[in-house]
Amino acid sequence: MTIEIKRLKKDSLPRLFAQLQAKGRRILAPHSRAGKTGFEELSSSGQVAQDYLQTTLSPKSAVFPRCEALFRYTFEGKEIKMEEKPEPAPTVVFGLRPCDAASFAVLNAVFSWDYPDALFKSKLEKTALLSISCRQADDYCFCTSVGGGPGDTRGSDILLTEMGSGDYLAEIITDRGRELVQLAPELFQEAPAPGKEKHLAQVPVKFDLKQLQEKLPKVFDSPQLWLEQSLRCLGCGACAFVCPACVCFDLQDEANRQGGVRLRCWDSCGFSLFTLHASGHNPRSLQSQRWRQRLLHKFSYFPDRLQTLGCVGCGRCSRICPADMNLLEHLKTIAEAS
Amino acid sequence: MEELRKKARELLERGAVKVVIGYGPGSAARTRAVFVRKPEDADQLILNDQCTQNLSVYLTKPEVKTLGKPAIVAHLAGLRSLVQLAAENQIADGQVLAIGVSPEGKLAELPDLKAVEAYLAGFRFELSPEEKAELDKIERMTAQERWKFWQEQLARCLKCYACRAACPLCYCERCLAGNNQPQWIPVASHQTGNLEWHLIRAMHLAGRCIGCGNCERACPVGIPLSLVTHKLGEEVFKNFGGRPGLSSQQEYALGSWKLEDKENFIG
């Protein structure tokens, strides 16, 4: 599949939004509240957050909301009546970064693993990713250490790169991307001069992934290492909740005499009760065990079982962590240990 | 800063404590908690305006406790949390050595609860004019406006429990939010679940919270929790007198009865 290159003028954004919406697309884009950014349904491009290097919350809520109904039901006498599931609206996620676009494949790997999750799939199939590459990076970013990059096209349907003029170099990557262009073809104009690389941030590789993956299984039984790394961890769920690749969930049933709903809610392996068994036994009763699991899950178990890393190097976890755990630092320590 | 490092080194060298819990350099311009166990590592300790986290949250973390008797670098809020933890029997006298840091940055070695309480007695604990003004703004809203305001703020809540994890006084090994037999609070981050979580946490903190701000700083979506914690402090002071975290003998305002308690609401 060849990538077509077009120019999208900066002042075309309002019209692009309007035309996509006119053709029935719901647009999720970065929006700022109380100084934090997340992806929300926006009615105009004027509401899109400006000047964000990376959003606080990830776009995973487009296909994996923080609280979603798996099914609803009402009781009719002795019968249970299931409610019709609403069709997901066709959605465009706008303004996500290349690391975020790559994370959708990670989510999909889990939701296709032993059981194809119909609810997730139905949303994923209706979701197009219109990403914007990175002109800036900070010390928390490490996409290039995990196989990504500030202008990487993996996972995006269209990738926009802002050029000096303010206009975007638009790469139309997939059939879904081409479909989107067809909804507003006059806005995608003749290709600009090639060479998007000069508009991208420099993100140096910060650790050797291969070395890390070789060392990880060897340090599983190093209780001192895990204790040292996790002493300041508070055991909150912030890292898992802002992570675009974290997908653990909790099922909650809420019902009364009239009927009820089964909800799927975000969960975190950092919580102390995450692995509490009904017997009362907890195989990860210590924070150090939970920290070890977080690291190994993303960098060892995921590649082993799902042939994909569980991390895209977006850095959100480290930016938001109230205890400044800084995952990247810990990864480097392990990769560089003799 | 040098004085702090010297003190830490000296405490560790003479075996007065097994670990010094303080601030060290973190990512970007941040600071983070460090757990210094060797005298030669005392140079890790720093003290500047970025050192805002109330480190007393670590005093009840199980794996931190395994390190042995700690010295803890504590600003006024950290000291008050320490005293409140003692009032709630989470710390025994003499189990923690406090290195108090005054608002001007002056250090004071406080070896026991009596010393901490005496030190705290020299300060006034009132909201600043700016903090009072913020509460005032909410109080002048009608009930409808206030409901709308909080529904908007709480709509962002993810139920990540960073507020709980960061709080020095949320030390319950089994938080009631984790119970599902019975399910006291909906786990889900919908309107009811979010409201109930924050209401329960506020009620469990009333009379105990000293307003350190750890919760607000930890919140990934910027919910203005200090409005709640400051309001709680003012209400308790108004209705019961006294502020938490100043005496290890202080009784829990909502759990103790006094002859002078108001009965104007009883039929």
DSSP string, A35-59: TEEEEEE-SSGGGS--S-SS-SS-G
Asked if residue A258 and residue A110 are part of one domain, the reply reads no
Cα–Cα distance, B2 to B24 (Å, whole number): 13
Cα–Cα distance, A100 to A93 (Å, whole number): 10
A315 with A100: CB under 8 angstroms?
no
Domain count, chain A: 2
Cα–Cα distance, A167 to B265 (Å, whole number): 67
Domain extent for A258: 209-336
Asked if residue A213 and residue A194 are part of one domain, the reply reads no
Task: Decide: residue A219, CB within 10 A, 0-12 exposed, 13-18 middle, 19+ buried.
Answer: middle
Q: Which of A67, A140, A326 sits opposite B189 (nearest CB)?
A: A67
Give the type of residue at A146. V
Contact B63 A265 (CB under 8 A): no
Asked if residue A149 and residue A268 are part of one domain, the reply reads no
Cα–Cα distance, A100 to A156 (Å, whole number): 9
* Residue whose structure tokens are 């005392």: B42
Q: Would you write out chain A's pLDDT as a tens digit for each of its 338 residues?
A: 689 999 999 999 999 999 999 999 999 999 999 999 999 999 999 999 998 999 999 999 999 999 999 999 999 999 999 998 889 999 999 999 999 999 999 999 999 999 999 999 999 999 999 999 999 999 999 999 999 999 999 999 999 999 988 899 999 999 999 999 999 999 999 988 888 999 999 999 999 999 999 999 999 999 999 999 999 999 999 999 999 999 999 999 999 999 999 999 999 999 999 999 999 999 999 999 999 999 999 999 999 999 999 999 999 999 999 999 999 999 999 999 87
- Close Cβ partners of A264 (under 8 Å, ≥ 6 residues apart): A67, A68, A69, A70, A119, A249, A250, A251
B212 with B81: CB under 8 angstroms?
yes
Is A50 part of any domain?
A: yes
Q: How far is A240 from chain B (nearest CA, A)?
A: 9
Contact A56 B57 (CB under 8 A): no
Would you state the pLDDT for residue A201? 97
- Close Cβ partners of B97 (under 8 Å, ≥ 6 residues apart): B11, B16, B17, B69, B70, B71, B72, B109, B110, B111
Q: Which of A230, A235, A329 sits opposite B165 (nearest CB)?
A: A235
Distance separating the N- and C-terminal Cα atoms of chain A: 44
Asked if residue A163 and residue A43 are part of one domain, the reply reads yes
Contact A322 B218 (CB under 8 A): yes
Asked if residue A150 and residue A68 are part of one domain, the reply reads yes
Cα–Cα distance, B36 to B23 (Å, whole number): 10
Is A154 part of any domain?
A: yes
Helix (H, G, I), strand (E, B) or coil at B214: helix
pLDDT tens for B162-185 read: 999 999 999 998 899 988 888 889
pTM above 0.90, yes or no: yes
pLDDT tens for B204-218 read: 999 999 999 999 999
* Residue whose structure tokens are 């139920």: B159
Would you state the pLDDT for residue A1? 67
B87 with B248: CB under 8 angstroms?
yes
Is A204 part of any domain?
A: no
Asked if residue A12 and residue A115 are part of one domain, the reply reads yes
Residue A38's beta-bridge partner residues?
A31
Asked if residue A189 and residue A254 are part of one domain, the reply reads no
pLDDT tens for B64-122 read: 999 999 999 999 999 999 999 999 999 999 999 999 999 999 999 999 999 999 999 99
Mutate to test the interface with B, among A54, A72, A230, A232 (most CBs of B within 10 A): A232
Q: Which of A175, A199, A223 is the last residue of a domain?
A: A199
A314 with A103: CB under 8 angstroms?
yes
Would you state the pLDDT for residue B263? 83
Would you state the pLDDT for residue A211? 95
Distance separating the N- and C-terminal Cα atoms of chain B: 59
Asked if residue A328 and residue A225 are part of one domain, the reply reads yes
Helix (H, G, I), strand (E, B) or coil at A127: strand
| Two structure tokens written together for B261 | 């308690």
Q: Please state, rounded to an integer, the average pLDDT across all residues of chain B.
A: 95
Tell me the domain boundaries of chain B. 2-120, 129-240
Q: Which of A164, A199, A234 is the last residue of a domain?
A: A199
